[in-house]
Amino acid sequence: MTLLERTNHLVEHYDLNPVFAMRIASELSDISPEAISLLLREKPKPFVKWVGGKRQLLAQFRNIGAYPPPGFNPAKNTYFEPFVGGGAMYFDLLPLKAHINDINSELTTTYSVIRDDVERLIQELNSGEYVYDQDVFLNIRAWDTDLVTEVKRAARFIYLNRTAFNGMYRVNKSGKFNVPFGRYTNPQICDSENLRKVSEVLKGTKVSNKSYKYVLDAAKPGDFIYFDPPYYPVSKTASFTTYSNDVFLGKEQEELRDTFMELHNRGCFVMLSNSDTPFTESLFNTYRMSGITVNKVQANRAINSKASARGKIYEILVTNY
Ligand SMILES: C[S@@+](CC[C@H](N)C(=O)[O-])C[C@H]1O[C@@H](n2cnc3c(N)ncnc32)[C@H](O)[C@@H]1O
């Protein structure tokens, strides 16, 4: 069987997304049910919890036929995720060729260290220094990350993600992480097995720490770009998260729309998530005739801290295919 035939066989018989199926088809010569089920059990997963994580929405994206783009060829083209965060979609697709990016340098350093130096990272996390204790937490939180090695920066980042309140990432005006200690029962700080698997799949992936606009210099026709930016606030009272000191309001959302359209005109497959508001919907109004579709999907996430204000929350998913 050719690579494409093996990929199609996997998509049909195991209900896999075609991008992941192609990775398996290119890595395994044996596509027996035993080999496949072993591989599925071994699939790496996101190594951080991230606010705005898309994991629960992926099935809906697939059900409405918006994901992955039917014409995208992962053997030839690259997958870009310029606002990668925890990378739910990256880990779902596990594309052969990928470029992930985030403006958060602690996060991107962690991706790079996992890819290039996973054994030293695991050793560091298991050194006895990263224990779940409030005083230890406050001490590690206070480190000046410019003064420590990249391995320590990555270990600190993973430690804080597992022990800080709600796994949140928030910095103050001077860029210092300021989320308080979280209450957990026995949090797992080092999942060595998953980190090793993540390291393997990251080997074919470029990681960068830039503004998302870099993608305009890098993407080629046929590439697939998924934008999952900080969401436009649903209301003035909605608690929305500041990921870094960068704001992402009206002007920034319009610039992102322009980047989307430039990639569309170049012949890329483009997909963008956002909150469902009159403003975010209107952003694409004049482009609907050019093949842009605005889909609505239902998210279960609570974006309002008041239980009474939590209802069915919708998000939009814009595609150009
Ligand atoms: C909604 S989150 C992405 C969540 C991700 N899809 C997941 O599944 O975890 C948005 C991300 O965009 C990053 N970000 C904010 N402004 C950015 C910019 N101008 N360029 C690139 N990344 C940015 C934030 O650091 C954050 O990780």
pLDDT tens for residues 63-117? 999 999 999 999 999 999 999 999 999 999 999 999 999 999 999 999 999 999 9
Pairwise CA distance, residues 78 & 219, whole Å: 8
Does the C-beta of 230 come closer than 6 Å to ligand 1?
yes
For residue 170, give the 3-state DSSP assignment.
coil
Q: What is the DSSP string of 259-318?
A: HHHHHHHHT-EEEEEEE--HHHHHTTGGGGGGT-EEEEEEE----SSSGGG---EEEEEE
For residue 243, give the 3-state DSSP assignment.
coil
For residue 74, give the 3-state DSSP assignment.
coil
Does the C-beta of 211 come closer than 6 Å to ligand 1?
yes
Shortest-distance Cα residue to atom 27 of ligand 1: 85
307 pLDDT above the threshold of 90: no
pLDDT tens for residues 247-306? 788 999 999 999 999 999 999 999 999 999 999 999 998 888 889 999 999 987 555 555
Does the C-beta of 24 come closer than 6 Å to ligand 1?
no
For residue 226, give the 3-state DSSP assignment.
strand
Instruction: Measure 192 CA to ligand 1 centroid, in angstroms.
Output: 25
Shortest-distance Cα residue to atom 11 of ligand 1: 83
Fold topology of 48-102+210-319: Rossmann fold (3.40.50)
Q: Give the containing element (helix H, strand E) for 101.
A: strand 98-101
Does the C-beta of 103 come closer than 6 Å to ligand 1?
yes
Instruction: Measure 82 CA to ligand 1 centroid, in angstroms.
Output: 7
Instruction: Measure 29 CA to ligand 1 centroid, in angstroms.
Output: 37
Instruction: Measure 80 CA to ligand 1 centroid, in angstroms.
Output: 13
Pairwise CA distance, residues 286 & 268, whole Å: 19
pLDDT average, residue stretch 120-130: 98
Does the C-beta of 85 come closer than 6 Å to ligand 1?
yes
Does the C-beta of 260 come closer than 6 Å to ligand 1?
no
- Architecture of the domain spanning 106-196: Orthogonal Bundle (1.10)
Residue 83 gets which letter from DSSP?
T
Lookup: tokens for 238? 């909605």
Which residue is it, tokens 């130096």?
117
Pairwise CA distance, residues 264 & 221, whole Å: 9
Domain ranges of the chain: 1-43, 48-102+210-319, 106-196
Q: Which atom of ligand 1 sits closest to the CA of residue 248?
A: 16
Q: Which atom of ligand 1 sits closest to the CA of residue 88?
A: 8
Instruction: Measure 54 CA to ligand 1 centroid, in angstroms.
Output: 11
- Signed CA dihedral, 250, 252, 255, 259: sign only: negative
Longest distance between any two alpha carbons in the chain, whole Å:
59
Residue 231 gets which letter from DSSP?
P
Q: Where are the alpha helices (DSSP H) in the chain?
A: 3-14, 18-27, 33-41, 58-63, 88-93, 105-125, 134-141, 150-163, 192-202, 215-218, 250-266, 278-282
Does the C-beta of 242 come closer than 6 Å to ligand 1?
no
Does the C-beta of 246 come closer than 6 Å to ligand 1?
yes
pLDDT tens for residues 28-56? 877 788 888 888 898 999 999 988 778 88
Lookup: tokens for 108? 């991107």
240 pLDDT above the threshold of 90: no
Does the C-beta of 83 come closer than 6 Å to ligand 1?
yes
Structure confidence at residue 242 (pLDDT):
47
Determine whether 154 is exposed, middle or buried from the number of CB atoms within 10 Å of its CB (0-12, 13-18, 19+): buried
